[in-house]
Amino acid sequence: MLNRWLGHAAVKPALFLLCLLPAAWLLWAAVNDQLGANPAEALIRSLGDWTLRFLVVVLAVTPLRVTTGLSVLARWRRMLGLFVFLYACLHLLAYAWFDQGLVFAAVVDDVIKRPFIFVGMLAWVLLLVMASTSFNAAIRTIGAKRWQLIHRVVYVIAGLAVLHFLWMRSGKNDYAEVAVYAAILGSLLAWRAWRWLQGSRLSSRS
């Protein structure tokens, strides 16, 4: 019953609009001067936070689908993954605009000088690769097995995202929120590792 309800044609467009709400709220807050004493920093960090949150949601889709039997969740994974890329792009744009004045040379210099910026940029590049192959035509072109291999890089992205967040927060010795994200993402990756080990054992017995 729940699978059928969630599979209704109106649910996916509603989810799409829901995913846009954080960006819409941040835009409204920026226009109406509601981002505090340092609006540029607040906007950059908020967009980074939402990128990480959407990454958690994407990685949670498969465990939820398997444990609850809600197969309809698989239909949303690609769209949610593209929202990770969208918020990562907005995060990068806000940093390049407000921190570096959209000067390409300044961005490159900052990437080279600051490790946490380098790690964040590397994660964005890997997201770009995933986003550019997230279409049916790309799957047909490169083949399903290669496509799956490419999209497993999301696990690397998760690690880079946490590292980026950790280094960013280390300047203020504020690790509580980093620990929460690390624990959640670590649990999601550990679940996948456990499933893989279980599958390997079953294969070896058969």
Residue type, 24: A
- Name the DSSP class of 206: -
- Tokens standing for residue 187: 């649990």
Provide the pLDDT for residue 205: 63
Question: 7 — alpha (psi -120 to 50), left (phi > 0) or beta?
Answer: alpha
What are 132-136's contacts with CB under 8 Å, separation 24+?
134/78, 134/81, 134/82
- What is the reported pLDDT for 99? 93
Provide the domain limits for residue 142.
2-205
Tokens, residue 2: 């729940």
Q: Which residues of the chain have pLDDT under 70?
A: 202-206
Would you state the pLDDT for residue 2? 78
DSSP-derived secondary structure letter, 69:
-
182-197 residue pLDDT tens: 999 999 999 999 988 8
Distance of CA 33 to the CA centre of its chain: 27
The confidence score (pLDDT) of residue 204 equals 60
**The predicted structure's pLDDT at residue 120:** 96
Q: Output b/e per residue, 71-86; b: 16+ Cβ within 10 A.
A: ebbeebbbebbbbbbb
Per the structure, the count of domains in the chain is 1
Secondary structure letter of residue 135 according to DSSP = S
